[in-house]
Amino acid sequence: MAALIETRDLTLHFGGLRAVDGVDFTMQPGEIHALIGPNGAGKTTFVSLLSGRRSPQSGSILLDGLDITRLLAHSRVRLGIGYTFQITSIFPRLSVFDNVALATRSRSAAKLSKQTHAALARVGIDALATQEAQTLSYGHQRLLEFAMGLALHPRLLILDEPTQGLAASEIEVFKSLVRSLAPKTAVLLIEHNMDVVMDLAARITVLNFGRVLATGTPPEIRANVAVQEAYLGA
């Protein structure tokens, strides 16, 4: 099967810091893939390159074989790459409905309303549609951001630390939501909660000092001595 997203020798340095250092990476359509590693390993910088929020110094990014390396973020959104942020990124004074409506690409009012309510219903917060976003609990704000990502109908949804600050019951809801996206949507999960990673991911890539330390299935990663020393054993 052809890769949905692929990077070749992707590189971005900040002075002497090699944030992303020659990374080769692939994801298949519909795959749930986790990206893990110690703090400062380059995970957020790497997904910023994938989403177009940063530009690499060298290397390439391919989406379904199309070179998107120099495309701006909004162009990548139109091609089907969605990204939710490590820190909740919503419009606090807008209603829950309006937050999602802004992410919906439809110009038809009727279709926009239908798509917005569908995204809210999928994450279980449609009943809060008229509420001001800043009044939501933290967990509901994360679900709102998830709905904003779903409203883009992404082929690839990048989730950066999505379970940070969530209660155990909210994490279970999140895992069910992620599983429900396959096989239509591939999910790249940047996550420190290893129970979530091992439970959800078909494959895991480990970054360390900006480079790929290992890629494999959850059992392979758990058994990898180098990964244990760099991250899991810490």
- Strand pairing class (203-208; 156-160): unpaired
pTM greater than the 0.95 cutoff: no
For the purposes of burial, counting CB atoms within 10 Å of the CB of 79, is it exposed (0-12), middle (13-18) or buried (19 or more)? middle
Q: 29: pLDDT confidence band, cut at 50, 70 and 90?
A: very high
**SS3 label, residue 14:** strand
pLDDT of residue 234: 52
Q: 16: pLDDT confidence band, cut at 50, 70 and 90?
A: confident
155, pLDDT greater than 80: yes
Q: 146: pLDDT confidence band, cut at 50, 70 and 90?
A: confident
2, pLDDT greater than 90: no
Q: Read off the pLDDT of each residue in 206-224 and give the average, rounded to a whole number.
A: 95
**What long-range pairs does 171-175 form, CB within 8 A, spacing at least 24?**
171/196, 173/124, 173/143, 174/142, 174/146, 175/199, 175/200
Rounded (10°) angle between helices 109-122 and 138-150: 130
pLDDT of residue 24: 97
89, pLDDT greater than 80: no
Where is 34: in which H helix or E strand?
A: strand 32-36
The whole-angstrom separation of Cα 189 and Cα 159 is 5
Q: 85: pLDDT confidence band, cut at 50, 70 and 90?
A: low
The whole-angstrom separation of Cα 18 and Cα 178 is 31
| Fold held by 1-80+154-234 | Rossmann fold (3.40.50)
Q: Read off the pLDDT of each residue in 21-47 and give the average, rounded to a whole number.
A: 94
Ranges of CATH 3.40.50.300 domains, the chain: 1-80+154-234
List beta partners, residue 188: 33, 158
224, pLDDT greater than 60: yes
Main-chain dihedrals φ then ψ at residue 65, nearest 5 degrees: 85, -10
88, pLDDT greater than 70: no
Percent of the chain, pLDDT > 90?
A: 62
Asked if the peptide bond before residue 183 counts as cis, ω within 30 degrees of 0, the response is: yes
Cα dihedral sign, 78-118-107-94: negative
pLDDT of residue 75: 92
